[in-house]
A and B are shown apart, each in its own frame.
Chain A
């Protein structure tokens, strides 16, 4: 199974094994990774699974859809490599993916 790493706002690292095809959001929620709220349950409708993707990985993801762009626009601290974790399906090619979490989801 691919492994992904979540770095909390305080710097704490969590490595999580993810079944292929699950979203990065689901990987966090199912493993009790604090800091991913996922209020809408993966419908790209709330922006509470906001993550900052490690720049080395950003270009290897599918680009954000217009709906994701729209929701990201309302996050508190949008950055260049901001994404919604529910819109990132984890594949074998993403083994080693690292993302950092914002201070809070809003």
Chain B
């Protein structure tokens, strides 16, 4: 049995010895054991705009530096997100199975659909939500066991983010774990992970159930006066009320995954980061006002979505390499967030960085995360309330990670709060 440190050291050696042309950072195994960072470090040094000729996900370019990722992300005219061109993830699916969601649309359609949902997570509305988020967070934390081992992912991260989603959708509260289930289904690739569904057909069948459930909610809300939940906003919004069923399904998946996996894994990742950097935990206890900058650092350090994909719609130069029209281009946010030319000591978790907000986890340009301030609010409240209760939370073992090159997340993290 190798220790975690030995696994990392061996992976680093392998990553730096391997011929460049063999490097394929999309291999889900590299995310399961969290060794992909060594391959990114090699690429940033030796081949920052890297072409992988084939493999499980077909030929694609890897963009690995902060600067080049910024350049691609802000050039949406050349780098298309549109589902008809391939969408926003490295995975290729047949045209009929591609999700029609606004993150996977180019302007002008993207703009009108995004603007329809954006008010729910705008600053004025967040101020109204803060009290209810805090009240629920307190309840979840107060109910945690003392002096016994429990799973932080299930008891805290999933519970808090699922309650938030149920609130945003005004979803039947007792059935809220359906949202977690559908989010996990939507990001599952049954070719590499069969723990949830065994096939693409089974996955599709679950998403159809989700669509049916939400269609019922839509029909209730469209016949009622407009309210401030997301479904009511979509059902009454001039630019969304006539959405075809495929777009309704796609945008639901976007909002469920966007508001779920990302914050969930940052809630777990922050605890793991502090456990591995006890000096930072001491700093935080001495100065709880650092929670705000720590939240940005958690989101950088975790990078809950490892990549976003684009498709070039014209020949274009990136970092001295020529990318051809039609090529698949993967921006590895996880790599850009560890780029030493943009971020000082990027491997370290430092809760009082000079410019903590300058990270790539939310993306940049017109597809930038619409719920970024809500995510930060949830994380801030969670840490404020943890600090008010628990001097120590012990992380007892390495986390179990999710086998995915898209969602960088955790299935389990065993912890104990001393009695």
Contact = CB atoms under 8 A, between A and B. Distances in A.
A74 to B, nearest CB: 7
B333 to A, nearest CB: 14
A66 to B, nearest CB: 10
B114 A74 contact: yes
Interface in B74-122: 74, 111, 114-115, 118-119, 121-122
Contact of A39 (B115, B123, B358): B358
A76 B117 CA distance: 11
B417 interface: no
B118 A76 contact: yes
Band of interface residues on A: 20 to 34
Interface stretch (A16-24, A56-64, A98-106): A98-106
For chain A, what secondary structure do more than half of its interface residues adopt (helix, strand, loop), or is it mixed?
loop
Contacts of A103: 123-124, 127
Contact of B123 (A38, A45, A74, A76): A76
A30 B357 CA distance: 14
Given A103-B123, A104-B123, 16 more contacts: A37-B357, A40-B70, A40-B364, A44-B74, A46-B364, A67-B74, A70-B366, A73-B111, A73-B115, A74-B111, A74-B114, A74-B366, A77-B122, A104-B122, A106-B118, A106-B122
A41 B373 contact: no
A79 to B, nearest CB: 14
B261 interface: no
Contacts of A33: none
Given A45-B74, A46-B364, A104-B373, A40 B358 contact: yes
Contacts, number: 62
22 contacts: A38-B357, A40-B364, A43-B70, A44-B74, A45-B74, A45-B368, A48-B357, A70-B366, A73-B115, A74-B115, A74-B366, A76-B118, A76-B119, A77-B124, A103-B123, A103-B127, A104-B373, A105-B373, A106-B118, A106-B123, A106-B372, A106-B373
Interface of B: 70, 73-74, 111, 114-115, 118-119, 121-124, 126-127, 355, 357-358, 362, 364-366, 368, 372-373
Contact of B358 (A41, A76, A77): A41
Most buried by B among A40, A41, A71: A40
A44 B368 CA distance: 12
A8 to B, nearest CB: 13
Contacts of A46: 362, 364, 368
B73 to A, nearest CB: 7
